[in-house]
Structure 1
Amino acid sequence: MGTQTTVTVATPERMNRLGRELAGLLRPGDLVLLSGELGAGKTTLTRGLGVGLGVRGAVTSPTFVIARVHPSLVGGPALVHVDAYRLGGGLDEMEDLDLDVSLPESVVVVEWGEGKVEDLSDDRLELRIERAIGGSATEDGDPRTVTLTGLGTRWDGVDLARLGEE
């Protein structure tokens, strides 16, 4: 199963910060799979990741371009942000995108990738973002539960639990 932790995220600002914190754990070649309903916070988290990685360009949902490459401004890995929602064939179509970047030297974040991109790597970090049970908006907004699961040897011994610390 790998390593797993659950983080409660109360606000969009905290979701963004979770992305920035997560960036500190990521290395070139990492595959991050994001799942969650529309509006759950996948792009907000990825935006924070982009800030944490120090990449160029505003991170927005790549729905219409399918994939967007954000080169590093600080000599780190590029961020490849993929929206697999309309990718029917999964891995083959990913390769057909002919991304102008080497995936092993990048951090690849895939939204809507379940059942489509798992073959890209045995090692991956899966994040499932869910609205808190009940789903009613409170003064704190609409809290989310983020479950992070590190799969494969890459994530052995990585302390994901520290991401949830305030």
Structure 2
Amino acid sequence: MTTGGNVKIDRTAATAEETRAVGAELAGLLRPGDLVVLSGPLGAGKTTLVQGIADGLKVRGPITSPTFVIARVHPSLTGGPALVHADAYRLGGTLEIDDLDLDASIEDSVTVVEWGEGLVEGLSEDRLEITITRDDTTDVRHIHIQSTGPRWTTPSS
């Protein structure tokens, strides 16, 4: 993965460990204020990718699906940004997203929202949109990463 510039990456992962490795590598691109929107069917590997992002960011775990608690904050163990891990699967719309006050913490944290497509884009014009699909015959995950917004189209400092 590269730093700065427009991000458009396609990766495959045959195992959970490979999915976590993609997440850890992705963490190297992330900084406070970044929004990551994860999409994909149940069992695609969204939470597994977030586990890798968390490892790369060196935040306190464990990282589990926040489906029933909706959002968890994982503080940094090294003085870096916290990870806000949210799950919009059970939310009914943008009003419920507003109730979570994710926009209040987005400036100082890396915010990752599973099932957030169509719901959280208003939180930031700058974001990474990640779609994970799984090949049912081989169990290989296809991870498509696409950036949106000016943060990803200018060189990093």
TM > 0.5 between the two? Answer: yes
Candidates 97, 100, 105, aligned match of 1:97? 100
Partner of 1:18: helix, strand, or coil?
helix
Candidates 138, 146, 152, aligned match of 1:155? 152
Q: Is the 8 A contact 1:40 1:144 kept in 2?
A: yes
Q: Alignment length, in residue pairs?
A: 150
- How far off is 1:95 after superposition? 3.2
1:12-31 equivalence runs, <5 A: 12-31=16-35
- Closer/same/farther in 2, CA of residues 46 and 158 from structure 1, 3 Å limit: farther
Partner of 2:110: helix, strand, or coil?
strand
**Letter paired with 1:42:** K
List structure 1 runs of 4+ shifted beyond 3 angstroms. none
- How far off is 1:146 after superposition? 0.6
- Closer/same/farther in 2, CA of residues 158 and 85 from structure 1, 3 Å limit: farther
1:136 aligned residue: 137
In structure 2, how many angstroms separate the alpha carbons of the residues matched to 1:98 and 1:59?
Answer: 21
Partner of 1:75: helix, strand, or coil?
coil
In structure 2, how many angstroms separate the alpha carbons of the residues matched to 1:95 and 1:73?
Answer: 28
In structure 2, how many angstroms separate the alpha carbons of the residues matched to 1:156 and 1:13?
Answer: 30
Deviation digits for residues 63-120 of structure 1, max 9, x if unmatched?
0000000000100000000000111122x32332256x72200000000001100111
* Structure 2 residues not aligned, in runs of 5+: 1-5
Q: Sequence identity of aligned pairs in percent?
A: 61
In structure 2, how many angstroms separate the alpha carbons of the residues matched to 1:158 and 1:14?
Answer: 28
Instruction: Let me know the Cα RMSD of the aligned residues.
Output: 1.7
Matched, 1:6 2:3: no
Q: Is the 8 A contact 2:35 2:106 kept in 1?
A: no
- Closer/same/farther in 2, CA of residues 47 and 153 from structure 1, 3 Å limit: same
Candidates 31, 38, 45, aligned match of 1:34? 38
* Structure 1 residues not aligned, in runs of 5+: 160-166
Q: Is the 8 A contact 1:3 1:158 kept in 2?
A: no
**Letter paired with 1:102:** S
In structure 1, how many angstroms separate the alpha carbons of the residues matched to 2:19 and 2:33?
Answer: 23
2:3 aligned residue: none
Question: What TM-score does the superposition give when structure 1 sets the normalisation length?
Answer: 0.85
Question: What TM-score does the superposition give when structure 2 sets the normalisation length?
Answer: 0.89
Q: Is the 8 A contact 2:32 2:81 kept in 1?
A: yes
Q: Is the 8 A contact 1:46 1:109 kept in 2?
A: yes
1:163 aligned residue: none
Matched, 1:119 2:122: yes
